[in-house]
Structure 1
Amino acid sequence: MTDLPTAPRATTSQAAPDTPVFSTAAVVASCVGFVLIGALQALYGPAIPAFRDEFGLSPSAAGLGLSAHFIGGVTGVLLFDRLYGRLGNRQILGVSYLLMAAGAAGFALAPNWPAALATALLAGLGFGGIDYGLNQLFAVGFGNRSTAMLNILNAHFGVGAILGPALIGVIGSEHYPAVFLGFALANLPLLLCLKGVRDRTPPSGTAAETEAGGGGSVLGRSLGSVLTAFVALYVLHIGIEAGVGGWEPTHLETVGYGAGFAATATSVYWLMMTVGRFLVAPIALRFSAQSIITVSCAGMTVSLLLATVPGFAPYAYAGVGLFIAPIFPTGLPWLNKAAPQARRAGALVIAASMVGGVLAGPTLGKAIEWSGIRAVPLLLCGVSALCLATTLWLIRATRTTPARDTGAS
Structure 2
Amino acid sequence: MTEPTTRPPRTRAHAVADTPVFSPAAVVASCVGFVLIGALQALYGPAIPAFRREFGLTPSAAGLGLSAHFVGGVSGVLLFDRLYGRIGNRRILAASHLLMALGAAGFALAPNWPTALATALLAGLGFGGIDYGLNQLFAVGFGHRSTAMLNVLNAHFGIGAILGPALIGAVGAAHYPAVFLGFALANLPLLLCLKGVRDRAPQPAGAAGTPGGGPVLARSLASVLAVFVALYVLHVGIEAGVGGWEPTHLETVGYGAGAAATATSVYWLMMTVGRFLVAPLALRFSAQSLITVSCAGMTGCLLLAAVPGLAPYAYAGVGLFIAPIFPTGLPWLHRAAPRARRAGALVIAASMVGGVAAGPLLGKAIEGAGIRAVPLLLSAVSALCLAATLWLIHVTRTRPAVLVPGPGAPTGPRT
TM-score (norm 2): 0.93
1:383 alignment counterpart = 381
> How far off is 1:392 after superposition?
0.1
Q: Is the 8 A contact 1:14 1:202 kept in 2?
A: no
Q: Distance in 1 between matches of 2:234 and 2:293?
A: 16
2:359 alignment counterpart = 361
What is the CA deviation profile of residues 196-254 of structure 1, one whole-angstrom value per residue up to 9, with x for unaligned ones? Answer: 000101123468xx896221000000000000000000000000000000000000000
What is the CA deviation profile of residues 346-370 of structure 1, one whole-angstrom value per residue up to 9, with x for unaligned ones? Answer: 0000000000000000000000000
1:212–1:33 distance in 2 versus 1, CA, 3 Å: farther
> How far off is 1:105 after superposition?
0.1
Q: Distance in 1 between matches of 2:209 and 2:399?
A: 17
2:34 alignment counterpart = 34
Q: Is the 8 A contact 2:206 2:336 kept in 1?
A: no
What is the CA deviation profile of residues 147-194 of structure 1, one whole-angstrom value per residue up to 9, with x for unaligned ones? Answer: 000000000000000000000000000000000000000000000000
Helix, strand or coil: the match of 1:268?
helix
1:233 and 2:231 correspond: yes
1:93 and 2:103 correspond: no
1:336 alignment counterpart = 334
Matches within 5 A, 1:203-214: 203-205=203-205, 213-214=211-212
1:82–1:211 distance in 2 versus 1, CA, 3 Å: farther
Matched to 2:309, the amino acid is G
Matched to 1:378, the amino acid is L
Q: Distance in 1 between matches of 2:193 and 2:206?
A: 26
> How far off is 1:15 after superposition?
5.4
1:19 alignment counterpart = 19
2:256 alignment counterpart = 258
> How far off is 1:403 after superposition?
6.0
1:127 and 2:153 correspond: no
Q: Distance in 2 between matches of 1:176 and 1:366?
A: 32
1:224 alignment counterpart = 222
Helix, strand or coil: the match of 2:309?
coil
Q: Is the 8 A contact 1:144 1:212 kept in 2?
A: no
Q: Distance in 1 between matches of 2:350 and 2:388?
A: 15
Helix, strand or coil: the match of 1:216?
coil
1:25–1:158 distance in 2 versus 1, CA, 3 Å: same
What is the CA deviation profile of residues 26-74 of structure 1, one whole-angstrom value per residue up to 9, with x for unaligned ones? Answer: 0000000000000000000000000000000000000000000000000
2:267 alignment counterpart = 269
Helix, strand or coil: the match of 2:339?
coil
1:139 alignment counterpart = 139
Q: Is the 8 A contact 1:304 1:381 kept in 2?
A: yes
2:407 alignment counterpart = none
> How far off is 1:402 after superposition?
3.5
1:3 alignment counterpart = none
Matches within 5 A, 1:6-405: 13=13, 16-205=16-205, 213-402=211-400
Q: Distance in 2 between matches of 1:50 and 1:180?
A: 13
Q: Is the 8 A contact 1:76 1:126 kept in 2?
A: yes
**Percent of aligned pairs with the same amino acid:** 85
Matched to 2:227, the amino acid is A
TM-score (norm 1): 0.94
> How far off is 1:12 after superposition?
8.5
Helix, strand or coil: the match of 2:399?
coil
Q: Distance in 1 between matches of 2:200 and 2:300?
A: 43
Q: Distance in 2 between matches of 1:375 and 1:256?
A: 15
Matched to 2:27, the amino acid is V
Matched to 1:153, the amino acid is L
Q: Distance in 1 between matches of 2:337 and 2:120?
A: 34
Moved over 4 A (4+): 11-15
1:63–1:211 distance in 2 versus 1, CA, 3 Å: farther
**Root mean square deviation of aligned Cα:** 1.5
Q: Distance in 1 between matches of 2:313 and 2:347?
A: 30
Matched to 2:236, the amino acid is I
Matched to 2:239, the amino acid is E
